[in-house]
Structure 1
Amino acid sequence: MKNHQKQAGFAQRTAIALAVSMCFATLAIAQSSEGSIYGRASPKAQVSIVNLDTGNKRHIEAESDGSYVFPKLQPGRYSLTSGNITREVSVTTGTGIEVSLDNKAVVVVAGSRTRAAIDMSSTESNSVFTAAEIRALPVSRDTTAVAMLTPGTVQGSAGLGNLASIGGASVAENAYYINGFDVTNIRNFVSYINLPFEAIAEQQVKSGGYGAQYGRSLGGVIAMTTKSGTNTWKGGASVYFTPASILRAKSKNIVDQELYGTNTAPTRYVSFASNDRSETLTGNVYLGGPIIRDKLFVFGLLNTSINNSDTYDRTTNTKGHSERPSGILKIDYLLSPDHRFELTALSNKPSRYSDIYTNKIDYSLLRDSAPDHQEFESSSNALMGKYTGYLTDNFNISAQLGQVKSLSEIRTNKNQKGRDCPWVLDWQLNPMGCYDPNNNGSERDPKAPPDGDLRKSGRLDLEYNWGSHTLRAGYDAQKFTTSQAGSVQSSGGIYYRYYKSTDGTVNNVPNVVKPGEEFVRVRLAASGSGVFDVINVAKFVEDSWKVNKDILINTGLRWESFDNQTNSGKSFVKADNLLAPRIGAAWNVFGDGETKIFGNLGRYYIPVASNTNVRATRYEYTHHRFYTFTGKDPRTAAPITLGPEVGAAELIGSDREPNPGTVADTQLRPMSQFEFILGFQQAISKNLAFGMKFNHRKVTDGMDDFCGTTGIGQFMKDKGYTKFNPNTLATCVLMNPGRDLNLNIDVANNGVLQAVTIPSSYIKLAKYERTYNDLQFTLDRPFDGKWGMSGSYTYSRSRGTSEGYVSSNNDQIDAGVTSEFDFASGTDGIYGPTPNERAHSIKLFGSYAINDAFSVGFNSSLVSGRPKSCLGNVPIPGTPNAAFDYYGADGKTTKGGSGSYGYSYYCLNGQFAPDLLNPKNTIAQSSLVPRGSLGNLPWTKNLNLSGTYKMKLEKGILSFTLDIFNVFNFQTEQTINEFKDYSRATQRAGRVNKNYGLPSSYQSPRSARIAARYDF
C-alpha cells in the first residue's frame, strides 16, 4: 500500500508539464521538428505505438533490459501498448517523453500543457510553445515575441529589427528552422523566410547545449513546426485587427536640442512621431485533413496582412500602404508505417507603396502638393522535402532536400521631383538646385540579375540503437548564393560639391586657384555587380550512452567547413573540418524523475555572412577630380562649363576584383564560441516545478574587418620595403582582431604580391573578446485546465570588446564587418559591458480560465536598462593622445579624403590646451571613456493583458479576443544619443552635440489588438 501511494504521488508530480521547458532546460534527442518517446516495458516485450491523429501504427521489440525508444515522432497524440498496459501521451517538438509500460510507474498526461516528467533523454536547453499556449497569452504574433518569453533572451536594438538576443549573442547569431529545415538568410543573419504565424503548430527555442547535430549558431536556434493534416478535417478562419486609434497612445516626440529655442529657426525634432498612425488587418483561412485516410494528409493556409500608415517629418509626410500575401501547403504521405514523406511549400509576395508629400510648412500635417510615388515589390518561396524511414526496430534514417529563394525589394519610382537632377551640394553639404535627397541616390546596374538570395540544402541523418547506446551520424551541406547588382550615383554616377579655398590650395596642391575662389569637386562613384557563393558543409557523429537507468552521457564530434567565394568563384575565406566537440550529461538524482542535475560543454562555429563576400570582394571605387568652373545652371546648380583640372585627383578603391589574399587574412579563423552549462531541476509538487541554471559562453575567435594602414606601413618600413605604397592595400581586410595578420601584399609596388605576416603588435587592435555569464531561476505552474503560470529571473553579465556579428552602437547590420575594429585607436577603451547586456530580467506570464467561455491572460516583464557609453571621434593631431593610425603626419585622415570611418570611445571633455603642433593656438582635448562605464538606462516595465470569449456552436467554436499591449503606457527610453562630439570638422573647436545623453528611442506606446476566429 505504501509503495502504491508512493507511485501515485510520483504520478501526480510527473504530470508537471514539459512546459517546465518553457522556463529552463529540458533535454531532447530529437531533431528540431520532431520528438521521441522512450521508457521501459517487460524484457523482449512487443511495444506498439499509434498516432491518434493520423492512425499510423508501428511495432518494435523491447531490449533484454526492457528499454525501448520511438525516435523521430511528429508532434501529436500517441497511444502506447505493451501487454495489457496502454498509455496515451502528447509529444512536442524537440522533447523526449518517458513512458513506463512495466507496471512500476505511471505517467499521467492531460491538458494542453500537462505533458511528461522532467525529460532525461538529452542535455539541450530547450523551450517549446504550442499554438494553443501562444494564443492564451497577449504576445505579438511573431516568432521573436514568443522567443522573448524564454529566460536569457533580451530584445535587441530597434535599429536592428528588435530581434532576439539569446545568451549574450548579437541578434545576428541565431539560426531559424521550419520543419527541421534551415531557413536562415545568411546574407546578414537577421532574417529568414516568412512563415504565416497561424500556420505554426509549435515553436521551439534552443538556447544552448545543442548536440552535435546542430551548429552554425552562437546565440540560439528558433525552430518552427507547421500544422499538418490529420484523419479529421479541421479548418477555420481568423482575423486580427490592430487599430490606429482604439486604446492606442501617442508616441513621444524627441526635440532636436541643436535647433531648439534659437531665434533663427523654429523647434525641430529628432523624431516627430506623436501624430504618426498605423493600423494593420491580418486574415487567415486554413483547412487540413485526409486525402486518403491513414495515408495521405494535407494542410493549407492562405494569409494576408494589410497595413496603412501615416508618418510625419519636418520637410515631408508620407502615406504608406503595404500588403503581405502568403501561403503554405503541407503534404504528409505514409507509404507504410515505417516510411514517411513530407513536403512543405511556402510562398510570400509582399508589396508596398509610399506617397511622399513635400511640406510647405515644417511638420505640416497637410497634404497639399502632388506626391512623389514609390512602389516596392519583393518575393520569397521555399520548397522542402523530407523522408523518414524506420528500416529496423533499431535503425532509422532521415533525409532532407530543399531550397529557399528570396528576391530583394525592387523599387519603381513615379512622379519623383528632381529625379533627373544631378546631386549638387554646397561647401556646407546643403542641397542645391533641383536635387531632392528623397528622390536621388544610387541606380542599380541595369544588366545585373535581380538582387536576391538562394539557399540549396541537403541533409542525411542516421540513428542506430545498440543496447544502452544510441549512435548517430549525419552530413549536412548547403550552398547559399547572393546576387547583388552594382550601382552608380544618379545622373550617370556624378555628383558635384562646391568648395572655397582660403589660401589657393586644392587637395594639398598650393596656388592652383585664387584665395577665396570657389572650385568644384566632381565625384564619380560606382560598384560592381556579382553573384557570390557560400558553401557550408558539416559532418557529425554522436553517442547517447545510458550508463544506467539514472545517468545519461552524450558525446559528439562535429566538423564544420566554410567556403566563401568571390564573383569569379575564388575562395577568399576557406576553412575545412573545424572540430566542434560536444559532451553533456544528465543525472536522475533519486531515480524517480523528480530531480535532475545536468550539464554540457561544447564549441560552436558560425559561418561568414555572404554580405561579407559582397562588401569585401566586389570592386568599388570613388574618383575625385577638382576643377575651376564657369557659371551654375539656374535649374540644377551644376557647373555650366568645367575649366582646367586643379589639385590632385584621388582614386579610392579599384575597378577590378581583388586578389582573395589581399582582402582577408589567408589564415582567418571563423568565429567560434566555447560554452559551459550546469543546471538543476526539481519537481516540488504535482503543480509546481523549480529550476536553476548557470550559463557560460566565451568567444574564442572573433572576426571583423580592419581598415587602417599606419601599422602595416610601419612594419614595411622596419623590414626595409622602401617602395611599399599603402594605397595598394585593400580599403579594409577581414581578420581576427588581436591576432597576427596574414596578407598577400605588393611590398615593392611593382604589382607582384608576396605573402606577409604582420605581427599584432603593429596592428595594435584590441583582442576580439566577448564573455557571457548568467544565472537563471525559474518556477513553472503548468496549465491544468483552470490556470497556469511561468516565471523566471535571470542575472547576467556580458563583457567584451564586441557585441558580436552586428553592432547596436550605430545599428550597423553588416554581419561580421562592423566599424568597431576599423582602426586601432577606435578600440581604445572598447572593453566593457556590451550594448545588449541586460543585467536583470524578470518575466512572468500565464492564463486563467474563468469558466468554459471566458479566459484571461497576461505577460509581464521588468528588465534593467542598456549600459551607457560615450562615443566620439579619435583625438586629432596636436593633442597628447592623437590617433596617428587614423590621422597621418600631415594631419589628414589616412583613408583618402573620406575620414568618415567609425567612432571611438574618446569624447571631448570640455578642456582646452595649447596645440602641440602650433602652440600659439589652443585645441579641444578628449578623454577616454571606457565602454559602458556611465551607468545604465532606466528599467523597462511592461504589462500585456488579454481576454477571450468562446462560443460553442453546433459545428465549431467561435472566439473573440482583446489584447492590450503595454497597458500602463510605459514609454521608457530604450536608447540615448551616445555621440558627444558634434562632428570631426568641429572637433578642434570643442563643439559638443547638444543631443548627447538624450533619448533617441522609446518603448512602444500602448496599443490594442482585436481578434475573431472560427474553428471547426
Structure 2
Amino acid sequence: MLNKELKRTALSLAISGMLGISLMQYAGTAMAANNDGAIHGTVSNEMAEHLQDAQVTIVDKATGIKRSVTVKSDGRFRFPRLPIGSYEITVQKNGYETLKLDNVSVGIGNATTLELTMTSGDVEVISVSGARIAMIDTTSTESALNISALELERLPVARSINSVALLAPGTAGGGRHGGLSFGGASGAENAVFINGLNVTDPELPTSYSSVPFSFYKDFQIKTGGYSAEFGRTTGGVVNAVVKSGTNQFEFGADVYYSPDALRGDGKNTYDKLGRKVVNRENDSNDSLTASVYAAGPIIEDKLFFFALYEPRLVQSDSWNSTDTHLSKYEDDSGFWGGKLDWYITDDHLLEFIAFSDESDGTTDIIKDGVLDSTTLSSSGGKNYIATYTGHFSEDFVMKAMYGELERQYRSNATTALECNRVMDYTKLGPIFDLSCTSLGMTDDRINKRESMRLDFEWNITDAHLLRFGMDYETRITQMDRAYPGTTATRYEIRDVVPGGSLNGETLSDEYDYYVRARTRKTFGNFETETSAFYVEDIWSVTDTITLTLGARYDEFDTTGAGGTGFMKVDGMFSPRAGFAWDVSGDGETKVFANLGRYYYPLPNSLVAREGGGTVDVSNYYYMEGGLLVDGVWQGGFTENVISTGQTNLTPNLGPIIGEAIEFGAVEAAEDQSYRIDNDLEASFQDEVILGMETMLNQDWRLGGRLIYRKFENAVEDMKVYRDWGDCNSPGTWLIGNPGKVISLQLECNGQMQTVEVDLGKEQIQAGHAQNKTDQDIGSPVPFRKYGAMELVLEKQWDDLWSFYGSYTWAHSWGNYEGGVNSDTTNNVAGWLEYGDDPMYLVGGYGNLPNDVRHQFKLRGAYAVTDQWTISSSLNMSSGRPLNVRGVGNPYTEDEHYYMNWVCVENCAGDDSASRVYNAIPRGSYGRTDWLISLDARLSYKTQIAGMDTRVSLDVFNVFNTQVVTRTDQFLTEVDSVGIPNDDFGVATALQGQRSMQLSASIRF
C-alpha cells in the first residue's frame, strides 16, 4: 500500500513538473488573503455532554481528499484552511452510532459551523439526523457578504467584480474616478484578491486584474472588521477564488453577447449655447465573448487541472460633441488561464495558477469621413501564483504563497510624436479639439507587484487558536509618459476677460485670447517595499463568547527614479479586537463588535511623480493674432505639415502672464530627502462596528450594523511658503502630513541640523507675498468621518425562491475625500490639491463626494418551473452632494486652484487684497437626483444530447433611466478669479443607458 502511494506521488511530481514548468518559471511572490475556508463545531451526546476523543473525518467530494481530527475536551473540533467546495462529514466514537452528513459547503473566508449530536447505540448504525448546520458563524467578528458563482447565475449581475461588490450593503460607485466606495472611502483605497494574490494596480488602485466569470468559483466582499492578516486598505476587500479540477472530467462553454441593437437610445446633454456636451445618440457598442474550458483529474485523487480560454470581440463607435470626429474602437484580445492542484498527500497541497488579461485595442480616428490617425492601446498583463498548504498535525497548519502581478498601460498614436495637443475652450469655438492627434498622453507604463506571505494557525489549547504570519511586497512602477508633440506641451486657448485676474495678474484688453501651455513628461523606475507581521488569538472564552484579539505591524519604504531613498514610514501598529456572543447558545443569534485600525500604504502614484524624473510646468501667455470668425480661426497659429500630410498647429505665444507653475522633481538621481518629513506618518483609519444577526426561522436571516470610521493623517505634496533664515531653503514643494509638524534635515550655517515647522500654524508665514493677511496661515489636519446604519433581510435559496434586501443610511463628511479628489480631475493619490494651499482644507469641510445618504438594494430569484427561472435586482441610491467651487480665496494668492469660495466684489484688477469672497459650503447647491436602476433576468435550462444547457437574457436598467450623475460644478472659468463659467450646472455625465445581454452555456 505504501509502495503504491509512493509511486503515485512520484508520478504526480513528474507530470505536474512537466505541466507546471511554465508557471514555475514566472512565479515570483504573492500576497495572500484568506482564500480558503474552514469547518468547525461541537460534538455532544443526547444529554448535551461533550464527547471528547470522537473522530471527525471529512472527505472533499470533488477530489476524494480525506482528513481527520480528534474532538477536544470541550467537545470542539476544527478543520482549518480547506479548499472551497462541498464535503462529506463522518463522526465516530465507540458506543455511539456513526454520524454522517453529506454536502456540507465551505465558502471563501468563512467557517461552516456544525453542531453534532451522537446517539448511543450500535456503532454500525449510521445516523443522519443528529446534526445541525448553523446559518450564522457565531465566532466571526468580520462584516462580509459571501456569494458563489452558482448563485450569481440566478441573478442579473454584470460580469465584473465591481458589479458583484455592489451587491453588498454600504458599497457604492466610486464617482468621478471610477472604482468602488466602501463605507464612504474613495475608490482608490480598496484591495482585490484572486486566490490570495492582491491584483490591485500598485499605482492607480481604482483598477485591477480580472478573470472571466467562467473562471470564478466564489466571492467574498469584506466591508469591515477585517482580521489582522489584512492591511494596506482603508476601504473594502474583494476576495475571489477560481475554479479547480475534480475527479470528474468536465467540459463547458459560455457565450455572452451584448448587441448594440438591443441597447436603449442614448441621451445627449447640451451647454447653454445649445452645443452638445455629452453625445450619445449615435454611439454604438457590441460585445461578444466565448469561454471554453476543460477540467478533470490528471491522476485521480492526486493531481487536477482546470484550463480556460476566452476569445472576445468588443467594438464601439463614439462621436465627439460636434459629430465631426468618429472614434472606432476594436479589441479582439483573448484571455487564458489555468490552475493545477497537486495533493502531495491528503495533508499537503500545492497549487499553481497563471492567467493573462492582456488587452490590445485599436482606435481609428475619422474626421469628416477620412481616416485621420490610429491609436494603439494595451492594458492588463500576466499573473502567477504558487501556494503551499501543509497540515503538520491536527493543531498546526502553515500556508505559504508566492506570486507576481504585472499590469501594462501603453498608448500611442501614429501622429502622437509630431502633433501638439491643442484645445479650444473659447466661447465661440465650435470645435474643442484643434489637434492632429486625439491622444491625451503617450504612455508606456508598467506596474508590478512582487510579494511573499507566510501564515500559520496553531491550536495552543482547546480555547486558544493562535494565527500569526508575515508578508513582504515590492511594488514597482516604470514610467515613460508625456504629452504628445515634439516638446510634450499641451495648449489650451481661452477668452480674455479684460480686467479679470489670471495667475496673479490683471488681464489686458489688448488681447482677445490667452493660452495655457503645460509641458509634462515623466521617466524612471520607482519602487515601494512593504512588510508586515501580525498575530491574532481567537479565544473561546466560554461556549458562547469568542474574543478575537490581534495586532499588525507595517513598514513602508520607497525609492525614487535614481535609486535613492525617497519616503519611509515605520512603526505602524494596528490593534484589532473583536467580540462575538452566541446569545442563546444555539447558533441562531449573534451579537458582535469590532474595533480596529487600518493603514493606507504610501501610493506609488506619488513616488512616481515626486521621486525624480518629472517635468510638469505650466505657463500662461497672451495669444498673438488670431480671431474667430463664424467659428473658424483666422490666424493665430504656426502651421507645419507632418509626415502623414496632416497639419500641426502651434498657437502663437505672446507676453507671459505671471510666473511659471512647476510641479515634481526633475533630477532623477537627486536625493529628495531634504524636502521629505523625517517623521512622516502614514494615513490610517480607525473603525468601530456593533452588529447583530439572527435567524427568524430556518430560511430567513435578519441582521444589522452600526459603523463609525475616521480617516486622518494624509500624506501629500505641499506648498510651504516661509523664510528659512540661516538654513538653505528646501524649496516650496515639501512632502509630509498637512496640518502636522514637519521635520527636515537642512544645512544651516554650514552644519546639518533638524528644523521643525508646525504646518498647522504656519504653512504660509505672515509677510510672505502669498499671504494676504497679517497673520501666519496654517492648515488643518485632513480627515474623513463616516457613520452608517445597515439593515439586511435575507431568505436562503430553497430550490424555489430567494430574497435579499438591504437598507443603508450613511453620512460621509470632513475635508478630505481620500486617495482621489472628485472635486477636480485628479486621481493621483498623494499628489492631490489638499496640501497645495492651506485654504483648500480650511474651506473644504462638509459633505464629501461619496456621501450617499440612502441606499436600498433588493434582489431575488424565483423558479417558475424546473426549467424556467426569473430574477430581478433593484438598486436605489440618493444623490451625491453638488460641491460647487470657485477660483481663489480671501487669504492666499494661489489663484489657480478651485476652492470653496467665489469672488463677488472687486474681482477685476491685480489688487487681490481688496477682493470680497463668499464662502460656498460643500453641498449648499443641493444634490444630484436619486439613481434608480432595475435589472432583470430570464433563464431557461434543459438537457440537449446529454449536456446541461442554459440560455438567458439579462436586461440592465430596464426603464432606461439616464439621470445626471455629474455636472460642471465650477462657478468661474479655470484659473480665473471672478470670471463666470458659462457652463456652470451643465450635465457632464449620465447614468448608463439600458443594455441587454444574451448568454448560453453548456456543461458535460
TM class by smaller structure = 0.7 to 0.9
Matches within 5 A, 1:927-938: 927-938=918-929
After TM superposition, the structure 1 stretch with the greater mean CA deviation from structure 2, 373-382 or 608-617, is: 373-382
So what's the TM-score if we normalise by structure 2?
Answer: 0.84
Select which of 925, 949, 960 maps to 1:969: 960
Select which of 320, 345, 360 maps to 1:351: 360
After TM superposition, the structure 1 stretch with the greater mean CA deviation from structure 2, 40-49 or 818-827, is: 818-827
1:408 CA displacement: 1.8
Select which of 177, 182, 187 maps to 1:160: 177
Q: Secondary structure at the match of 1:685?
A: coil
The 1:808–1:576 alpha-carbon spacing in structure 2 relative to 1, beyond 3 Å, is same
Matched, 1:253 2:268: yes
AA paired with 2:864? I
1:668 CA displacement: 1.4
Q: Distance in 2 between matches of 1:282 and 1:639?
A: 42
Matched, 1:835 2:842: no
| 1:620 paired residue number | 614
Matched, 1:694 2:706: yes
| 2:596 paired residue number | 602
| 2:667 paired residue number | 656
| 1:34 paired residue number | 36
Q: Distance in 2 between matches of 1:509 and 1:984?
A: 10
1:78 CA displacement: 0.6
Tell whether the 8 Å contact from 1:820 to 1:903 is kept in structure 2 after alignment. no
Matched, 1:131 2:149: yes
How many corresponding residue pairs? 913
| 1:896 paired residue number | none
Matched, 1:680 2:692: yes
Tell whether the 8 Å contact from 1:617 to 1:663 is kept in structure 2 after alignment. no
Matches within 5 A, 1:536-935: 536-621=530-615, 622=617, 635=640, 652=662, 655-657=666-668, 658-707=670-719, 709-710=720-721, 712-713=722-723, 716=724, 720-721=725-726, 729-730=731-732, 732-744=733-745, 755-763=755-763, 764-875=778-889, 881=890, 883-886=891-894, 899=896, 902-909=897-904, 917=911, 925-935=916-926
1:377 CA displacement: 2.9
Q: Deviations over 1:133-175 (max 9, x none)?
A: 1111111110111110111111121x312x2211111111111
AA paired with 2:360? S
Q: Secondary structure at the match of 1:593?
A: coil
The 1:775–1:107 alpha-carbon spacing in structure 2 relative to 1, beyond 3 Å, is farther
1:86 CA displacement: 0.9
Q: Secondary structure at the match of 1:371?
A: strand
| 1:211 paired residue number | 227
Matched, 1:482 2:482: no
Q: Distance in 1 between matches of 2:302 and 2:542?
A: 39
1:128 CA displacement: 0.8
Tell whether the 8 Å contact from 1:741 to 1:760 is kept in structure 2 after alignment. no
Gapped regions of structure 2 (runs ≥ 5) = 1-31, 44-50, 93-97, 121-126, 626-635, 642-646, 764-777
AA paired with 2:194? I
Select which of 279, 291, 300 maps to 2:286: 279
Tell whether the 8 Å contact from 1:729 to 1:745 is kept in structure 2 after alignment. no
The 1:634–1:256 alpha-carbon spacing in structure 2 relative to 1, beyond 3 Å, is same
Q: Deviations over 1:832-863 (max 9, x none)?
A: 11111111111100100011110001100111
1:231 CA displacement: 0.7
Q: Distance in 2 between matches of 1:498 and 1:997?
A: 22
| 2:774 paired residue number | none
1:824 CA displacement: 1.5
AA paired with 1:999? A
Tell whether the 8 Å contact from 2:209 to 2:380 is kept in structure 1 after alignment. no
The 1:164–1:428 alpha-carbon spacing in structure 2 relative to 1, beyond 3 Å, is closer
1:665 CA displacement: 2.2
After TM superposition, the structure 1 stretch with the greater mean CA deviation from structure 2, 845-854 or 184-193, is: 184-193
| 1:952 paired residue number | 943
Tell whether the 8 Å contact from 2:848 to 2:881 is kept in structure 1 after alignment. yes
Q: Deviations over 1:599-621 (max 9, x none)?
A: 11111112111111111112334
AA paired with 1:694? L
AA paired with 1:380? G
AA paired with 1:698? K
Q: Distance in 1 between matches of 2:367 and 2:234?
A: 45
Q: Distance in 1 between matches of 2:337 and 2:199?
A: 15
| 2:239 paired residue number | 223
The 1:108–1:551 alpha-carbon spacing in structure 2 relative to 1, beyond 3 Å, is farther
- Percent identity for Structure 1 against Structure 2: 30
Matched, 1:60 2:65: no
Q: Secondary structure at the match of 2:159?
A: coil
Q: Distance in 2 between matches of 1:245 and 1:647?
A: 52
Q: Deviations over 1:896-924 (max 9, x none)?
A: xxx4xx31011245x668979499xxx87
Q: Secondary structure at the match of 2:370?
A: coil
1:734 CA displacement: 2.7
Q: Distance in 2 between matches of 1:69 and 1:172?
A: 37
| 2:376 paired residue number | 375
Tell whether the 8 Å contact from 1:489 to 1:524 is kept in structure 2 after alignment. no
Q: Secondary structure at the match of 1:869?
A: coil
The 1:1000–1:885 alpha-carbon spacing in structure 2 relative to 1, beyond 3 Å, is same
Q: Deviations over 1:531-555 (max 9, x none)?
A: 1111010101110011111110010
Q: Distance in 2 between matches of 1:625 and 1:811?
A: 20
The 1:376–1:646 alpha-carbon spacing in structure 2 relative to 1, beyond 3 Å, is closer
Matches within 5 A, 1:516-535: 525=519, 527-535=521-529
1:207 CA displacement: 0.6
1:827 CA displacement: 2.5
1:192 CA displacement: 1.6
The 1:629–1:196 alpha-carbon spacing in structure 2 relative to 1, beyond 3 Å, is closer
| 2:163 paired residue number | 145
After TM superposition, the structure 1 stretch with the greater mean CA deviation from structure 2, 198-207 or 311-320, is: 311-320
Q: Secondary structure at the match of 2:167?
A: coil
Tell whether the 8 Å contact from 1:31 to 1:72 is kept in structure 2 after alignment. no
Tell whether the 8 Å contact from 2:967 to 2:988 is kept in structure 1 after alignment. yes
AA paired with 2:833? S
1:324 CA displacement: 3.5
Q: Distance in 1 between matches of 2:509 and 2:691?
A: 74
Q: Distance in 2 between matches of 1:857 and 1:498?
A: 52
Q: Deviations over 1:203-231 (max 9, x none)?
A: 11111111111111111110111011011
Q: Deviations over 1:473-521 (max 9, x none)?
A: 1011111111112547522457899999999xxx9999xxx99799999
The 1:425–1:216 alpha-carbon spacing in structure 2 relative to 1, beyond 3 Å, is closer
Q: Distance in 2 between matches of 1:229 and 1:770?
A: 45
Q: Deviations over 1:297-335 (max 9, x none)?
A: 000111133111111112412111123411110110001
Tell whether the 8 Å contact from 1:96 to 1:120 is kept in structure 2 after alignment. no
Q: Distance in 2 between matches of 1:425 and 1:547?
A: 67
AA paired with 2:309? L
Q: Distance in 2 between matches of 1:96 and 1:949?
A: 33
The 1:138–1:734 alpha-carbon spacing in structure 2 relative to 1, beyond 3 Å, is same
Tell whether the 8 Å contact from 2:169 to 2:808 is kept in structure 1 after alignment. yes
AA paired with 1:144? N
| 1:182 paired residue number | 198
Matches within 5 A, 1:177-576: 177-246=193-262, 248-257=263-272, 260=273, 267-313=274-320, 314=322, 315-359=324-368, 368-411=369-412, 413-414=413-414, 416=415, 420=418, 436=435, 438-439=437-438, 451-465=445-459, 466-485=461-480, 487=482, 490-493=485-488, 525=519, 527-576=521-570
Q: Deviations over 1:785-812 (max 9, x none)?
A: 0000000111111111011111222242
| 2:87 paired residue number | 78
The 1:115–1:282 alpha-carbon spacing in structure 2 relative to 1, beyond 3 Å, is farther
Q: Distance in 1 between matches of 2:875 and 2:64?
A: 42
Q: Secondary structure at the match of 1:679?
A: strand
Q: Deviations over 1:69-116 (max 9, x none)?
A: 000011111111112011121111111111133338999899xxx974
